[in-house]
Copies of this chain bind each other. A is one copy, B any other.
Amino acid sequence: MIITMQFGASQAEIDAVCSVIKERGFEPLVMPGEDRLAIGIHAALSPDDRIFLESAIGSLDGVSKVTQTSSPYTLASIEFHRTRSSVAVKGVVIGDGRFTVMAGPCSVESYDQYRASADMVKASGASVLRGGAFKPRTSPYSFQGLQEEGLQIIKQVGDETGLVTISEVMSADMVEVVADHVDILQIGARSMQNFPLLIEAGKSAHPVFLKRGPSATIDEFLLAAEYVLNQGNPNVILCERGIMPLDRTYTRNTLDLAAVPVLKEHTHLPVIVDPSHGTGVARYVAPMAKGAMVVGADGVMVEMHPDPKKALSDGSQALDPAHFNSLMKELKALATATGVRM
Residues of A within 8 A of B (CB): 1-2, 4, 7-8, 29, 31-36, 38, 40-48, 50-51, 55-56, 58-60, 67, 69-74, 77, 79-80, 136-143, 170-174, 190-191, 193-197, 213-215, 217-220, 223, 226-227, 230, 243-244, 246-251, 254-258, 260-262, 265-266, 278-279, 282-284, 287-288, 290-291, 293-296, 308-313, 315-316, 318, 333-334, 337-338
Contacts and interface: CB of A to CB of B under 8 A. Distances in A.
A181 to B, nearest CB: 17
- Count of this chain's copies in the oligomeric assembly: 4
B230 A140 contact: yes
B262 A287 contact: no
Contacts of A60: 309
Contacts of A278: 258
By Cβ-Cβ distance, the 7 closest A-B pairs, closest first, are A337-B337, A215-B215, A34-B70, A59-B315, A217-B247, A7-B79, A190-B193
B194 A194 contact: yes
Contacts of A174: 196
A173 B194 CA distance: 13
B262 A258 contact: no
A42 B247 CA distance: 28
A304 to B, nearest CB: 12
B34 A44 contact: yes
Contacts of A69: 2, 4, 31, 33-34, 36, 38
Contacts of A2: 2, 38, 40, 67, 69
Nearest to A260: B287
Contacts of A215: 213-215, 244, 246
A118 B40 CA distance: 37
Nearest to A221: B247
A229 to B, nearest CB: 9
Contact of A243 (B7, B190, B213, B254): B254
Given A33-B45, A171-B172, A291-B295, 5 more contacts: A29-B29, A33-B69, A72-B139, A217-B247, A261-B283
A159 to B, nearest CB: 27
Nearest to A202: B140
Nearest to A48: B141
Given A171-B173, A295-B290, A138 B220 contact: yes
A70 B171 contact: no
Given A139-B72, A171-B196, A309 B31 contact: no
B36 A257 contact: no
Contacts of A290: 294-295
A108 B247 CA distance: 31
A47 B33 CA distance: 12
A96 B294 CA distance: 23
12 contacts: A2-B38, A31-B69, A34-B70, A36-B69, A51-B143, A55-B313, A140-B230, A190-B193, A213-B215, A215-B246, A217-B247, A290-B295
A308 B59 contact: yes
